[in-house]
Chains A and B, each alone.
Chain A
Amino acid sequence: MILLDEVYKSFNANHVLTGTSLVVKKGESRVVIGGSGSGKSVILKHIVGIMKPDKGRVTVDDMDIARLKEHDLYEIRKKFGMLFQMAALFDSMSVWENVGFVLSRRGMLKPAKIKEIAVEKLKLVGLVNVENLMPSELSGGMKKRVGLARAIAHEPEILLYDEPTTGLDPITADAINDLIVSLKERLKVTSVAITHDMQSSYKIADSISMLYQGKIIATGTPDEIRNTSDPVMRQFITGSAVGPIKVEGVNNERTVNRA
């Protein structure tokens, strides 16, 4: 179980999380939606312990991530797999070396066996004959798939997705959604995805939470969210520039004039 309890996080004068609370049960697929710069990525980075809260608590399976000793933190990270927004593939390594990276670092298996596993994981994300390519030779969608294969290579219990469909064409995006759903069914993982793509949220989520002004303002099933009457939620899911959420960098007057 993943728990964020009243988490506060600021960067200089920018208060990103102001009492964020979130509970994700084992086996659940949660999507956190919210605008650009609302602190969604910061939530993921807190869960995996790359960032520490200024105040509040983040626990994974009842272990306080911020208070763990370095060694224990690295141990608990073995439970995680994370897909980054831009895939974050290691550009000095080939595709299979990327996918098999963790396995090779653990030093338990021979390179030939690792390659075999990597090829198998790549097949799972729908990629064949790419294992010897370098990341620079791949398209955006392929990079995300390789990133996904790398994230699942060590068979994690928890998968974190940072904007899995952002920057992809609608068809590739949907293929990634399908992949996430099938991974969920096949691997029975707990997952947290952050996105502002509503199509994707409805498809991959068991439940959706909305992050607004540093707090989770609502949580519900995709159907509940779709039929919400909350004005903030409605504006976000319908993608309107007019409403209680102000468009970043645009003054109110102009927003009103556009209406």
Chain B
Amino acid sequence: MTRLIERFGRAILSLLQKGVFVAEETGRIFLLLLATLRQLLLPPFGIVDIFRQMLEVGVRSVPVVIVTAIFTGMVFALQTYTGFKRFGAETLVGTVVAMSMTRELGPVLTGLIVSGRAGAAMAAELGTMRVTEQIDALETLAINPVKYLIVPRFVAGLIMLPALSVCADIIGIIGGYFVTVVLFNTSSVVYWKQTWTYLESADIYNGLIKACFFGGAISIISSYKGFYTSGGAEGVGKATTGAVVLSSMTILISDYFLSSWLFG
């Protein structure tokens, strides 16, 4: 009996410790966010570094986003068409695809892709810089590493995620069009009409607000994981995995709350 209580107590204690760890980490991420915002507002603005990161985070992610969006749009149209046909509502496919892409799938899928691609790269690069003392070297050279390394990545995330999201929205809708109109031989006019009649501008910009949030979250979380790496090559590996897992989870969880706030 005593043993059972002991084990129960230990389990509760370890759960509490994990809780404390999560709270601490969240706090540190917020502190880094505050430091980043502060540095963002102070000159000089390092436009070149920002463009370089926009290229890395945004432009280089375009091919993957296109492939993901087109197939998502296609499969969405396929499933909706065959499902809706059961109650004769197949004319609504255009609406469903457009609304799902702009409100949900565009921002979320783009977020997940960018966190896997650019987020991992950020964590690995900053992590390597940390363990090889390059970040310390920046400090001794009187360069603020948050300003030099994190601000450009943060700004690039904020700008490029919505941009990629727009790209995903459009490509997804085109994918849906291809399946519905070309493969299932329905009317092109009906598809576009249904798309435009029910799609509201709020669907698009609220989706982009989410994308913007995801972009900032991916950059800060991945930078945080990389920036505070310790423990050599193994540490860099852990930081990279941690960055992808934590930013993906953040995207999926915050997506619900953001959606209920923006669309609810």
Which residues of B are found within 8 Å of A74, using beta-carbon distances?
142-144
Q: How many residues of A contact B (CB 8 A)?
A: 26
Interface flag for A202 (CB, 8 Å): no
Closest A residue by C-beta to B44: A107
Determine, out of B97-105, B133-141, B202-210, the stretch whose residues face the partner at the interface.
B133-141
Minimum Cβ distance to chain B for residue A117 (Å): 15
Across the interface, A82 reaches (CB within 8 A) one of B44, B137, B143, B148, namely B137
Assembled-state Cα–Cα distance A84/B148 (Å): 20
B132: Cβ under 8 A from any A Cβ:
yes
Interface hit among A86-94, A203-211, A233-241: A86-94
- A to B contact number (C-beta, < 8 Å): 53
- In contact, B139 and A50 (Cβ under 8 angstroms): yes
Which chain A residues border B134 with CB–CB below 8 Å? 88-91
> Smallest Cβ distance from B34 to chain A, in angstroms?
13
* Complex-state Cα separation, A107 to B45, whole angstroms: 12
- Residues A75 and B142 in contact, CB atoms below 8 Å apart: yes
**With the chains together, A82 CA to B137 CA distance in Å?**
7
The answer to whether A82 touches B140, judged by C-beta atoms less than 8 angstroms apart, is yes
Find the B residue at minimum CB distance from A70: B144
B139: nearest residue on chain A (CB-CB)? Answer: A50
- In the complex, the chain B residue whose C-beta lies closest to that of A92 is B125
Which residue of A45, A74, A107, A154 has the most chain B CB atoms within 10 A of its CB atom? A74
- Asked if B133 and A84 make an inter-chain contact with CB atoms under 8 angstroms apart, the answer reads yes
Given contacts A48-B140, A77-B142, A107-B44, 6 further A-B contacts (CB under 8 A): A74-B142, A78-B142, A81-B140, A84-B136, A91-B134, A105-B148
Please name 21 pairs of A and B residues whose Cβ atoms are closer than 8 Å in the assembled complex, sorted by A. A48-B139, A48-B140, A49-B139, A74-B144, A77-B139, A77-B140, A80-B142, A84-B136, A84-B137, A85-B133, A86-B133, A88-B132, A89-B134, A89-B137, A90-B129, A90-B134, A90-B137, A105-B143, A105-B148, A107-B44, A154-B141
